[in-house]
Amino acid sequence: MQIGDNHHLYIGGCDAVELAKSYGTPLIVYDEKLIRTTIQAFHEVFRRAGVPYQISYASKAFCTMAMCQLVYQEGCGIDVVSGGELYTALESGVPASAIHLHGNNKTPDELGFAVDVGIGAIIVDNFFEIALLQDIAAKSNRIVDVLIRVAPGVEAHTHEFIATGGQDSKFGFDLASDQAHMALRQLADAENLRCVGLHSHIGSQIFDVDGFVVAVERLADLYQYGVRELDLPLTVLNVGGGFGIRYTDEDAPPVAETLSAIIAATRQTFEARELDFPTLWIEPGRSIAGPAGTTLYQIGSQKRIPGIRNYLAVDGGMTDNPRLALYGAKYHAVYANRADAEPEDTWSVAGKCCESGDMLIWDAELPNPKPDDILAVFATGAYNYSMASHYNRIPKPAVVFARDGVATVVVERETWSDLIRKDRRLADL
């Protein structure tokens, strides 16, 4: 946290209080340099290990044109999971060849769009999709590079709603029951699909490296089967994303160590099978976007319930950050206008939506609020704006990138009239 002589919080060299004044609240502010240095640190681990790799930013964490431009400029490809994300990435100027399409139920329109624009790869999720995609690719007379998504049966140590790699999952081909082998056999026969790799994603906000290592070992067996038995042109091992970040002091993210352990496990398992080292793909979303984002809110109403709890409400809430309501997520916050003030009491930060679960932080240690206070909630860069809703007809906040003291609006604040833009009045009322 950067604090100026005026005791204000600074983000990307910009005074957060001034940002709130200029652009209004709630406001999501990204430290642009932090996004860049985070990506550079990922590159550095691979470069030092001297292995072929590709970093694909999981845009679901925060998908806007500016973000796509930025991560592409830093040498990342882009992962998309819908036609909307694909459209955003393409409109931002990222070439289709640098984009990969994921999803457990890609529609024929989405697959057709991806094939037509010449997408870099499609991560095939199920048998239904193999048939559909083969058909679409054949009709457009294209050969499409695909990876298969494997559910390796690994339980990542994370919240159950965001664990995706276990056997009982809607994602991917089950490894234990040989469905993944069968998928490879089908792909070997699919004339318009070229299976270039294997993929697994075992969950999100993971701190424990063991799950990744087990996944790599299991995928290596399948990889060997694909290369040796089926003669598939496999070159890619994609271990997904999921690297945990620091939301509060309880979290200690070992991203570089985790990556190094994944590289070492890949080296060991592939050497043991006398396979060439594959191109290792990762798909980080949260770890790239999350730490760089801070949400600024204007403090509003307060309420003390003697002996029970103090509530402090802000001018946003679950509409811009549903993560506490969904996952019981924890956040750290300060007042941006007195960022080094000592805590005086415990304040639970509530949003302004009409439901009790609309909370941002339970029992935060904070100074007693004053009317001008601007609350800054840290690490809100991933899965906040991208999961924002219009519940209670609350417009979505503005987003700015701050760098070297200059702020640039990358998403404009929505207005009330934006909210009714797609509404149609009944003619006879």
| Interface residues toward ligand LLP, by CB under 6 A | 58, 61, 79, 102, 162, 164, 201, 204-205, 240-243, 283-287, 323, 327, 382-383
**Minimum CB separation from ligand LLP for residue 159, in Å?**
7
Q: Which residues have C-beta within 8 Å of that of residue 403, sequence separation ≥ 6?
A: 12, 13, 31, 32, 33
Q: Which is nearer to ligand LLP, 283 or 373 (CB)?
A: 283
Residue-wise burial string across 190-200, b where 16 or more C-beta atoms lie within 10 A, e elsewhere: bebbebbbbbb
Burial grade of 344 (CB within 10 A; 0-12, 13-18, 19 or more): exposed
Q: Distance between CA atoms of 76 and 429, rounded to whole angstroms?
A: 52
Length of the chain measured in residues:
429
CB 80 within 8 A of CB 405: no
With respect to ligand LLP, which residue has the nearer C-beta, 361 or 374? 361
Coil/strand/helix, residue 230:
coil
Least separation in angstroms between residue 46's CB and ligand LLP is 16
Kindly state the smallest distance separating residue 236's Cβ from ligand LLP, in Å.
14
Query: In the complex with ligand LLP, which residue's Cβ is closer, 285 or 316?
Result: 285
Nearer to ligand LLP, 20 or 122 (CB): 122
Which residues, in sequence order, are bridge partners of residue 173? 150
Identify the bridge partners of residue 338 per DSSP, sorted by sequence position: none
Its sign, for the CA torsion 151, 38, 59, 253, is: positive
Q: Closest CB to ligand LLP among 19 and 237?
A: 237
Binding residues for pyridoxal 5'-phosphate: 242, 283-286, 383
Residue 354 and residue 97: Cα distance in Å, rounded? 44
What is the CB neighbour count within 10 angstroms for residue 107?
12
Nearest Cα neighbor of 171 from 156, 187, 193, 192 is 156
Shortest distance, position 345 Cβ to ligand LLP, whole Å: 29
- What is the spatial distance between Cα 201 and Cα 149, in angstroms, rounded to a whole number? 8
Considering the complex, what minimum distance in angstroms separates the CB of residue 303 from ligand LLP? 28
Report CA-CA distances (Å) from 156 to 9, 263, 363.
35, 18, 28
One-letter amino acid of 57: Y
Active site residue 354: yes
CB of residue 417 vs ligand LLP: minimum separation in angstroms?
A: 29
- Give me the catalytic one of 14, 68, 76, 354: 354
Give the contacts of 204 (CB within 8 A, at least 6 positions apart): 156, 158, 162, 163, 164, 241, 242, 285, 286
Tell me the closest approach of the beta carbon of residue 426 to ligand LLP, in angstroms.
Answer: 36
Q: How many CB atoms lie within 10 A of CB 276?
A: 11
Cβ neighbour number for residue 415 with a 10 Å cutoff: 10
Beta carbon nearer to ligand LLP, 164 or 298:
164
Q: Coil, strand or helix: which one is 360?
A: strand
What DSSP letter does each residue of 174-227 carry, written as one string?
Answer: ETTTTHHHHHHHHHHH-TTEEEEEEE----SSB--SHHHHHHHHHHHHHHHIII
Collapsing DSSP to helix, strand or coil, 89 comes out as helix
**CB 244, min distance to ligand LLP, A:** 8
Residues making up the annotated binding site are 242, 283-286, 323, 327, 355, 383
Residue list for the binding site for substrate:
286, 323, 327, 355, 383
Just list the catalytic residues.
354
